[in-house]
Structure 1
């Protein structure tokens, strides 16, 4: 039977992916006034803001892994294989460029052109916005000139400087396709080219570690430096004042050179655990952005004495794939992860700013003082963690994490709150030299740690003092083989151990005496105890699963179906489900009450670790050759999920691993010319109404205009000043407009009005008549909104035949109010205008039958609309009262 994917879990997002070996691209957004850094992660790239290093955008995936990225003011360019893609809004592909025959490894945006170079010696100049993309194509023989670096010299119009792996440099004019000058080089391959703040001066990094500051206009070398850490991977000039050059190395170190004194002024060793892919100074700021293949982005600030740098902020994940993961605490928001890089890290499912890096373990804190005596940094570090256990009960008092390391007998303690390694190294008092700690568990109270070893010992330690409190078994031997798992129950009454001798043993925790032992059908690989239900899951070497009830000491369930080594297991919070992952690339969910398989799906990479959150909302998995931790949402919490037993011949379908999602709290970076402002809808719903944005003084006092004029009537008429200043008369309204000048001064001074001025209608009346035919009343309503209360009263007064209007104008005004109420917009203005209109013309309207019919229809519409609103108000008030009473 063929399956259709997982019916229980769906991909949500991946944690801990930030960067790889591809150099980053930096861009400045003028509208946001903020710098953004673009880093490649596999087949997509991520955009972070430099201020907070929060992810703001994730691009769509490309067919192949990204080999290089570049960005200009409008677009982000990414090369994957032979294809170059242009992304708008850092997300969607808007254009693709085809023409390279080999893998593209260099990109350089230059105005409206994009310059790209591949490993076969082809350099293509693309017209980004043109219909014919290829503007110019150059071909170099890789044996004599293999382009390895590319740069645009500042103020050099249409010029590009190319560096080769043979050491020579060439200056080209991309508009005329002419070679302008050839620099012979310095007998070493060029690995980096960087423009300095000074015109005509560039920095050249070579494969031998030599740095040359060269004037390309005069063809003179101004100064040279030598970096002893190998080739130059990147160069960066500081632009905020001090003449400082930063050079990066494949060992992860950064050197800082003073260009005035021509000497080394500082170095940042182990800035990255792998090669520094790129380093870029922010323009006009003392900040340096670096990224590397160790899956980290770091921002350094230069505020130390002597011009030194310190780490300001960073985003860092595992530089090698994680092997063991586990949720820490009872809220399910933090995931502890131990990787092959030797670090122990905590990833937050809420926001990246809550991530913690507990760092590498060291052999002994006291031995760190011997660094100056020749003990290297690598020799002090502990090997990778193979198993760990955590408890949050007493983590504020002492260390709450205990970890086993590869090939080491002693286990280490870690403090989650201080994000450091603890003070204790828990080591058995007497055992063989080749003994290795293989299993660990912390009691639910957080006071004790039970540790199993490869020699069969099971020891108990006090976490507060780090003292040894005893061991299980006769002659300090609990098993005759390698201990594969240890566990303690909730009340510290029972200890369970299993080993390669095919035995599962039950011990009294306090007296450390054996009670029962069970013979297993095969050697166990791992063990997991669900303390609340007392169910113990055992993964055997024959790819089967056993579930043991610790109360009855009997095997209650046996599951078979995996076709590879079972790597990890996790119980659901209620103990109903058991989730297992194996090397057959399947993630299976077993239902313990029914004893059947209820969910199974395939993934592209074999999972090595799994953990289900204590709240049951997320399933976390870690996979082979992947640096991230993948989260899957539990569909059963969002709605009903029909789970049925799957048949024995069930063939699971492949589920795509989830990707990174941008944080909603961060502002999405877009193109500078794109208008990304949100446009609100004119009306949200037919059952709702929308109020106008006019102030209340424009419509609330329309019915009291007579009282206001009477109260504000002056006692004496205003006296004209002796010499009034010259001014141009304006028309009343929000928009100032000048009145048209009169024909002659005599006409302006005449006190007799012509019949044409009396018969001319206002702009509002003309617009109202035009709207009566088109049934679109936006224009007259816009004119009314521009009028003040007094002008509005005059306009409505002139609608009647006695005021120079007509009966058709009265009918048109009623239809305008009806259309306003039907659309639901300007609800307050419609009622205010209608009230003043009825006050002025109610007597004449009662004598017009057509107008009365229109008013009757308008009245029924108003009553229906208000009834709907009143029902919504009553429902909301009732719900609010119920909520308040429930809280009280």
Structure 2
């Protein structure tokens, strides 16, 4: 049973909430169909047994405790005091009323969480089965009992105001009618009594032949209609003006109606039942009948997808029907008999899902495989089955879709393997003459290039086929019969789980077994590869999940669960592992801890005993403050300090950013590109009288230019320049032969700073020949130690470039001085 309640909203719409272990307000229903997830609450420790809501909080009971949710998410109040299980809740202003199965009624103050009043009742005389706060009745509540009588209480004065004799049949439901002083009473006999509690008069009676009344609701959009639920899944619609049954909604649910409610001022009826289904019915027909407009939370046999980001992205592809045309032609209301059995295996490919169906599914005990369309969230147009095969004993056991999305490969229990076109559903051939295997097909797979098809048979043979011409290429005999097969298309690695509880890994290129793993003590139910193909994760009936490292061939992780895992798969990004378990309805997500912290993936010893891990959940746990003494370091992590030099025969890089050293030789080009444009020069002012050259023809005299190099005002201050810290460290290196400090100084500088330091080594800029020799010794030391290899190469290249440029400038200056002083007999060497 799924509990349901309607949460009032301040925006004029309503929020629908369903409760299992978490509270889920599904949608804001203001003419918005279909439903979409509005929010999801935190989880409670136990399953929710009843719910109620007011304009501020949502109350949910679990066991003998109930809690109040704020903003449909977090628990803000918890009320403890009952000794038996709570089965009724009723908000009452700033108070809330709770009733347990021992007929103990407690009124709580919401914000202080204290008991305001407690009323114990004798179960043999008056066992409370329903509760209602009548409209406009201040401080009064109406209680219904299994004995059939009703009582009206004033909870402020703690007085019994009136006792209604009843109808000698147990009360199952109480509902306020749109009219004041009038309530609807549902009875165990199937009667609905419209009663005026002010005058204790029965206004009208209705009777259903479907058993006790489970719930009642009234339309508030101007139509005098009442809906009543029944244990067999039927809903009766009654006209209150004509006092007659106007419609029957038979098989609204396959099991008992657990709850129904008309949305405020909307022609919408929301129902839920024990079949774990939630349905919305819209009343837009001429006869007042309702038609289903949305289905959620359907039972087994559906194909659904769950988002790891947010539940509003979840999709349900619905039920598949064996013969949809027959259902439409005969107008069947109960489609349970013609629905497809549960899905046992399916394959999906998104390459052409926008053009045609991209999912193929095998069903339990069925020969036909159904196709599904994920984008349209519906079952597809084709049922894939071999023509002419009418035996009921043959079933589809394995399925795969090619990476291009055009073909589906289906293996049968008879040993046949067929190929179908996904667009048209036409049969495109079979592998082998009569059948591909002598036994049942346990697995089929197609490589990423549509060249190879791999099939595994229960007789213990693995076969490789040419996908195009269906010719057998190679076969491999296995030590045991295969249980399931999985192919990682990107790496070409094939995993085989055998019936002897071992795992074999093959390379489809060489068609040889490259790894063998053993250790499971039960049947292997499922396997999955990590996205990069390095890990193989297996789930077994021995309640263990193991992670195998393929490059090293070792077991690197193993843990036990309290319930055997049935399926396991990994997300495309490798951050989540999804599992399903025996006797558990949920899909459980596990985080990949290697993405968030450093994990030592060392091989586990042969005598390793895995620890039992509880299944993950969303229940809030109490914060436990751990002292420093209780926190023990993990023994699994090995503290490893990398040496400065791993191997004397190898070189070590500095790991500095490339911007620090890669562009040292191109600094002149970079500076030239980054040099700003020169501002326009102001022209020289012309003299008032322009000088002329004396002669017969007057000519203007050109201005005199001073080209005498000896009169240059630029003074070489290299001798007066102060030595930098880098030069001082190089001088110290000449004495002690230690250059680590000088190298560290260069590592902290940028390209321009490094160039400046190397230019300052020359004698003309304040350096000396000894300092230049010390720099070369520093480079030699770096190369001898084979550390900071890329820095040594870059620094040496820049030093040679700068030194060569300085030497060229020096020779040019010498030749100029020699030519200038040759007439005086002064030769400068």
TM-score (norm. length: structure 1): 0.64
Partner of 1:544: 502
Q: Which one of 81, 100, 123 corresponds to residue 63 of structure 2?
A: 81
Q: Which one of 89, 96, 112 corresponds to residue 94 of structure 2?
A: 112
The answer as to whether partners of 1:22 and 1:69 remain within 8 angstroms in 2 is no
The 1:74/1:197 distance shift into structure 2, 3 A limit, reads: same
The answer as to whether partners of 2:126 and 2:147 remain within 8 angstroms in 1 is yes
1:294 Cα deviation after fit? 4.5
Partner of 1:356: 315
Larger radius of gyration: 2
- Larger mean Cα displacement after TM superposition, 286-295 or 585-594: 286-295
Partner of 2:192: 211
For residues 387-786 of structure 1, what are the structure 2 equivalents within 5 Å?
387-428=345-386, 429-430=388-389, 432-474=391-433, 476-637=434-595, 641-648=599-606, 649-659=608-618
Counterparts of 1:620 and 1:392, CA distance in 2 = 20
Partner of 1:678: none
Matched, 1:36 2:36: no
1:306 Cα deviation after fit? 4.5
SS class of match (1:133):
strand
Partner of 2:24: 46
Partner of 1:133: 115
The answer as to whether partners of 2:210 and 2:231 remain within 8 angstroms in 1 is yes
- Larger mean Cα displacement after TM superposition, 50-59 or 395-404: 50-59
Counterparts of 1:391 and 1:93, CA distance in 2 = 41
The 1:264/1:580 distance shift into structure 2, 3 A limit, reads: farther
SS class of match (1:232):
coil
For residues 133-282 of structure 1, what are the structure 2 equivalents within 5 Å?
133-141=115-123, 143-269=124-250, 271-282=252-263
The answer as to whether partners of 1:371 and 1:377 remain within 8 angstroms in 2 is no
- What is the aligned-residue RMSD (CA, Å)? 3.0
Counterparts of 2:113 and 2:14, CA distance in 1 = 31
1:106 Cα deviation after fit? 0.9
1:508 Cα deviation after fit? 2.2
The answer as to whether partners of 1:97 and 1:133 remain within 8 angstroms in 2 is no
Structure 2 residues without counterparts, runs of 5 or longer: 621-829
Q: Deviations over 1:60-92 (max 9, x none)?
A: 444432221222344333222122334445455
The 1:630/1:274 distance shift into structure 2, 3 A limit, reads: farther
SS class of match (2:306):
strand
1:344 Cα deviation after fit? 1.3
Partner of 2:5: 25
1:198 Cα deviation after fit? 0.6
SS class of match (2:601):
coil
The answer as to whether partners of 2:45 and 2:619 remain within 8 angstroms in 1 is no
The answer as to whether partners of 2:3 and 2:48 remain within 8 angstroms in 1 is no
Q: Which one of 310, 332, 343 corresponds to residue 385 of structure 1?
A: 343
The 1:399/1:201 distance shift into structure 2, 3 A limit, reads: same
Counterparts of 1:349 and 1:131, CA distance in 2 = 36
1:202 Cα deviation after fit? 0.9
Aligned length: 614
The 1:238/1:369 distance shift into structure 2, 3 A limit, reads: closer
1:94 Cα deviation after fit? 4.5
Counterparts of 2:584 and 2:409, CA distance in 1 = 31
1:304 Cα deviation after fit? 4.7
Partner of 1:733: none
Matched, 1:347 2:306: yes
Q: Deviations over 1:717-767 (max 9, x none)?
A: xxxxxxxxxxxxxxxxxxxxxxxxxxxxxxxxxxxxxxxxxxxxxxxxxxx
Counterparts of 2:280 and 2:321, CA distance in 1 = 26
Partner of 2:676: none
Q: Deviations over 1:479-528 (max 9, x none)?
A: 22222111111222222111222222222223323232222222222111
Counterparts of 1:642 and 1:301, CA distance in 2 = 58
For residues 794-873 of structure 1, what are the structure 2 equivalents within 5 Å?
none
For residues 51-62 of structure 1, what are the structure 2 equivalents within 5 Å?
51=29, 55=37, 57-62=39-44
1:243 Cα deviation after fit? 1.6
SS class of match (1:100):
coil
The answer as to whether partners of 2:37 and 2:312 remain within 8 angstroms in 1 is no
Partner of 2:741: none
SS class of match (1:212):
strand
1:459 Cα deviation after fit? 2.0
Q: Deviations over 1:627-652 (max 9, x none)?
A: 33333344445565442222331413
Q: Deviations over 1:668-704 (max 9, x none)?
A: xxxxxxxxxxxxxxxxxxxxxxxxxxxxxxxxxxxxx
The 1:404/1:89 distance shift into structure 2, 3 A limit, reads: closer
Q: Deviations over 1:751-809 (max 9, x none)?
A: xxxxxxxxxxxxxxxxxxxxxxxxxxxxxxxxxxxxxxxxxxxxxxxxxxxxxxxxxxx
Greater length-normalized contact order (CA 8 Å, ≥ 6 residues apart) = 1
1:270 Cα deviation after fit? 5.0
The answer as to whether partners of 2:190 and 2:211 remain within 8 angstroms in 1 is yes
Structure 1 residues without counterparts, runs of 5 or longer: 1-20, 320-340, 662-888
The answer as to whether partners of 1:608 and 1:622 remain within 8 angstroms in 2 is yes
SS class of match (2:223):
coil
The answer as to whether partners of 1:493 and 1:510 remain within 8 angstroms in 2 is yes
Q: Deviations over 1:455-482 (max 9, x none)?
A: 22222223333233332334x2322222
Counterparts of 1:54 and 1:114, CA distance in 2 = 30
TM-score (norm. length: structure 2): 0.68
Q: Deviations over 1:194-246 (max 9, x none)?
A: 00111111112233433222222233322233344443322111223222222
The 1:229/1:495 distance shift into structure 2, 3 A limit, reads: farther
The answer as to whether partners of 2:486 and 2:496 remain within 8 angstroms in 1 is yes
Counterparts of 1:59 and 1:394, CA distance in 2 = 37
Counterparts of 1:74 and 1:175, CA distance in 2 = 22
Counterparts of 2:362 and 2:225, CA distance in 1 = 45
Counterparts of 1:521 and 1:254, CA distance in 2 = 60
Partner of 1:72: 54
The answer as to whether partners of 2:28 and 2:38 remain within 8 angstroms in 1 is no
The 1:253/1:584 distance shift into structure 2, 3 A limit, reads: farther
